[in-house]
Amino acid sequence: MEFLQGGNAMSQNLLTQDHNNELKIIEFLIEEEMPDGSSYVGHYGINVAKVVSIIREPSITSLPSQADPSVLGTFNLRGNVLPILDLASWMGKKMIPNPNNKVIVTEFCSVQSAFLVSNVANIHQITWDAIEAPNKYIDIYSNESVTGVLRIGEKVLFILDMEKVLSSLDSRLDMSTAEVDTSKVDDAEQFHLLVADDSSSLRHIIKSALEKSGFRVTTAVSGRDAWDYLMSLEPEALAHNRKITDLVHLLISDIEMPEMDGHALTRKVRASSFTHDLPVILFSSLITDAVREIGVKAGADRQVSKPDLPGLNKIICELLEEKLGRH
């Protein structure tokens, strides 16, 4: 029996309620076997907006010559053949077999995949500022696959970068190989862009590509970090009678980030007299009609899905010309 029925509609309804930096996190468990034979239960989380359904472990068809041992094979879900990943194995852990194991079916960038877990525990409604950015130790320990840390009572939930995890199943989800346009842009050096993304790999890809095109780029690891940077510019700007668009010409922000998401960041930008005129591009793997509506209401000038990032240069140039009259 499915835990979530009609997951896509449910996810979009939840997203359209996201007016106050809020989201819902599904808590799932992985019971792993330790080297001494004991067991340990790890608590993890995923944004409910990325979940289509949660089902019992199905019959799985093995794939011949599968290079990645964490890829279990495929299964049939309502007529669709989906790949399935052993999440514990991908993280270098050994999950204890259990006939009650669950499978979480996800959708990113219109690609459906699934991963095996021990159980699904709860749904938590929180705000993005409740999610802490991972520290350097967690980054190293998790191979930079944890994008946030959520503390609920005495429990600690690790929010996994599921796009990175599930890229083992489908190369279309592998943003580390994204080919962002790096062609030279005339007079690009006069433009200073601020890029906010909690994924270090994607942040590096975007920054590197934009710098190869000639832009000056500053990066931020969250919406809060980006906002703090913009606010740090205000005293100097006011002292010299300058506008924000004399110092930063464009903000490019992911939507899902710890501490402050891209929608909340955009709303703060539009609410401040100092940053009100700053052009904003939002991007995410979740640009559905519902998410696009939230972005429009927040004040985003453009919204881009991650698979469309190769065309980012063109979007930037069009927006700079439209908003600032520069080309």
- Please say which residue of 145, 173, 201 terminates a domain: 173
- Model confidence pLDDT, tens digit, residues 219-262: 998 899 999 999 999 999 999 999 999 999 999 999 988 888 89
Rounded to two decimals, what is the model's pTM?
A: 0.73
If one counts every other C-beta atom within 10 angstroms of the C-beta of residue 176, the result is 12
Q: Label residue 326 by pLDDT band (50, 70, 90).
A: low
Q: Label residue 5 by pLDDT band (50, 70, 90).
A: very low
Nearest to 158 by CA among 176, 144, 169, 168: 144
- 51 and 84 co-located in one domain: yes
Determine contact, residues 148/44, Cβ cutoff 8 Å.
Answer: no
Higher confidence at residue 297 or residue 137?
297
- 80 and 156 co-located in one domain: yes
Q: What is the domain count for the chain?
A: 2
In this prediction, residue 21 carries a pLDDT of 65
In this prediction, residue 127 carries a pLDDT of 87
* Phi, psi of 121, rounded to the nearest 5 degrees: -100, -45
Which residue is associated with the tokens 């919204």? 303
- Model confidence pLDDT, tens digit, residues 63-104: 776 667 888 989 999 888 998 999 999 888 899 989 899 999
DSSP letter assigned to residue 95: B
- Please say which residue of 133, 152, 173 terminates a domain: 173
Q: Label residue 306 by pLDDT band (50, 70, 90).
A: confident
- 191 and 61 co-located in one domain: no
CATH classification of the domain holding 150: 2.40.50.180
pLDDT over 70 (residue 174): no
In this prediction, residue 15 carries a pLDDT of 37
In the predicted model, what is the mean pLDDT of residues 296-313? 86
Q: Provide the domain limits for residue 190.
A: 175-324
Strand (E) or helix (H) holding 316: helix 312-324
Q: Label residue 17 by pLDDT band (50, 70, 90).
A: very low
- 133 and 181 co-located in one domain: no
- Please say which residue of 150, 173, 196 terminates a domain: 173
Determine contact, residues 201/177, Cβ cutoff 8 Å.
Answer: no
Return the ∠ at Cα 310 (arms to 139 and 212), rounded to 5°: 75
